[in-house]
């Protein structure tokens, strides 16, 4: 165990006292162009990860943004970052909203305890999705992910081709335990619901997918939200509240889909870079 990485840090302990105050969330500004429905709304949450901002933006600039709108959820706690990200999105998108969240941000780059930020994730996406302009699909790309060329087109094609698929994702690797190669698996799971014959009680079991495939589309149980495209109508139908059976945001979403008869798939041909910064070093998996 390495001090400051896998143990609970002072920052993590401080986070336990953080409050998700909706009164600290507001629109800073927006750029609007008259149009009823866009093909896709890009939603990206930011927590001042300046070390990979240029890499993130380089992936976004590969997309056909003329028929897209965007929601910038800015939890950076930095006026300099506000200005930088606002200019970048204003140059790329005909319509975007810039939302400021003044609650203290916290990331998992120096903590292995996902429980510390799960409530914050639900809070962030619940608020970001509430502000979305009208679109057919919602494309979440998180601030530490660099998407390759063709990502948007491939995921859009899946949703257009298969009406039973509600969510399509790219291959994004886990990188919290970066010093152990065994943990660099795709950040997604198979899922099983097991029902007791005696009591009728249900439990959900998740199995980490440990083998990354070179290409192809595969049905899975649940996935990361790093590069994640979903039908807007399904988001509005299901919402993003935590559930008793599967708490975590990304895993719970897959279970929500299953319970309502929708499917989630991964396109293995889309290989994203997932950046991290630990001990003042920047890398990706």
The segment with the largest mean pLDDT, out of 60-64, 92-96, 103-107, is 60-64
Domain annotation covers residue 63: yes
Query: How many domains does the chain contain in total?
Result: 1
DSSP state of 64: -
Domain annotation covers residue 36: yes
Closest by Cα among 237, 267, 232 to 158? 267
The chain-wide mean pLDDT, for the chain, equals 86
Global pTM value = 0.88
Segment 21-34, tens digit of pLDDT = 888 988 887 777 76
Segment 206-251, tens digit of pLDDT = 888 988 999 999 999 999 999 999 999 999 999 888 777 777 888 8
Domain annotation covers residue 183: no
Domain annotation covers residue 92: yes
Residue entry with tokens 């109508």:
233
What pLDDT does residue 2 have? 32
Note down the domain range covering 113: 10-171+212-284
Beta bridge partners of 100: 26, 74
Query: At 69, which CATH number?
Result: 3.90.550.10
Segment 189-212, tens digit of pLDDT = 998 888 878 777 888 888 889 889
> What DSSP line would sit under 130-191, residue for residue?
HTPPSEEEEEEE-TTEEPPTTHHHHHHHHHHH-TTEEEEEEE-B--TTTT-GGG--BSEEEE
Domain annotation covers residue 47: yes
Domain annotation covers residue 217: yes
User: 29-63 burial, b for 16+ CB within 10 Å, e for fewer?
Assistant: ebbeeeeeebbbbbbbbbbbbeebbebbbebbeeb
Contact (Cβ atoms closer than 8 angstroms) between residue 225 and residue 142: yes
Domain annotation covers residue 218: yes
What pLDDT does residue 8 have? 38
Domain annotation covers residue 195: no
Lowest mean pLDDT among 75-79, 185-189, 221-225, 275-279: 275-279
């Amino acid at each position: 165990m390495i001090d400051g990485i896998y143990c609970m840090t002072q920052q993590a302990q401080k986070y336990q006292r953080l409050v998700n105050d909706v009164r600290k969330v507001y629109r800073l500004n927006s750029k609007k162009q008259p149009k009823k429905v866009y093909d896709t709304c890009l939603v990206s949450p930011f927590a001042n990860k300046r070390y990979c901002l240029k890499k993130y933006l380089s992936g976004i600039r590969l997309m056909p943004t003329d028929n897209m709108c965007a929601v910038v959820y800015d939890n950076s706690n930095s006026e300099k970052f506000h200005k930088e990200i606002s200019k970048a999105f204003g140059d790329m998108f005909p319509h975007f909203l810039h939302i400021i969240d003044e609650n203290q941000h916290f990331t998992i780059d120096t903590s292995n305890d996902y429980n510390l930020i799960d409530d914050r994730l639900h809070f962030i996406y619940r608020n970001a999705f509430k502000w979305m302009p009208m679109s057919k699909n919602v494309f979440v790309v998180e601030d530490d992910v660099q998407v390759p060329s063709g990502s948007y087109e491939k995921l859009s094609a899946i949703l257009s081709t298969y009406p039973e698929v509600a969510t399509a994702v790219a291959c994004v690797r886990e990188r919290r335990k970066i010093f152990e190669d065994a943990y660099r698996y795709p950040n997604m799971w198979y899922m099983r619901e097991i029902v007791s014959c005696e009591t009728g009680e249900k439990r959900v079991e998740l199995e980490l997918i440990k083998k990354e495939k070179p290409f192809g589309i595969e049905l899975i149980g649940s996935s990361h939200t790093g590069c994640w495209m979903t039908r807007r109508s399904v988001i509005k139908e299901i919402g993003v509240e935590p559930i008793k059976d599967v708490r975590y945001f990304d895993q719970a979403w897959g279970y929500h889909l299953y319970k309502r008869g929708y499917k989630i798939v991964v396109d293995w041909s889309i290989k994203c870079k997932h950046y991290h910064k630990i001990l003042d070093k920047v890398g990706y998996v």
